[in-house]
């Protein structure tokens, strides 16, 4: 039949970058990924240096219409 995939170091990888998570920053692999996830919870307007390039699509709805 089908063989189950060999269990890696961790049953669940980092939800942000899918890397093996760290016990220190679980369930993330690093503090940066934890910050990224936290930023999403805070509103998704968090600055992510890793995705700053090539992702410059800002909805005009964010612009203030003055008065």
Site string for Zn ion, 4-23 (x = CB under 5 A): ----------x-xx-x----
Task: Establish if 48 lies at the interface with Zn ion (CB under 5 A).
Answer: no
Residue 61 CB, shortest distance to Zn ion, in Å, is: 30
Residue 54 CB, shortest distance to Zn ion, in Å, is: 20
Nearest CA to 31 among 16, 43, 11, 46?
A: 16
Name every residue whose Cβ is closer than 8 Å to that of residue 16 and which is 6 or more positions away in sequence: 28, 29, 33, 36, 37
Q: Which is nearer to Zn ion, 1 or 8 (CB)?
A: 8
């Amino acid at each position: 039949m089908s063989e189950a995939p060999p269990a890696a170091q961790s049953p669940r990888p980092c939800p942000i970058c899918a890397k093996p998570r760290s016990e220190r920053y679980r369930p993330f692999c690093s503090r940066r990924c934890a910050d990224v996830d936290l930023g999403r919870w805070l509103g998704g307007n968090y600055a992510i240096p890793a995705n700053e390039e090539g992702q410059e699509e800002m909805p005009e709805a964010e612009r203030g219409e003055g008065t």
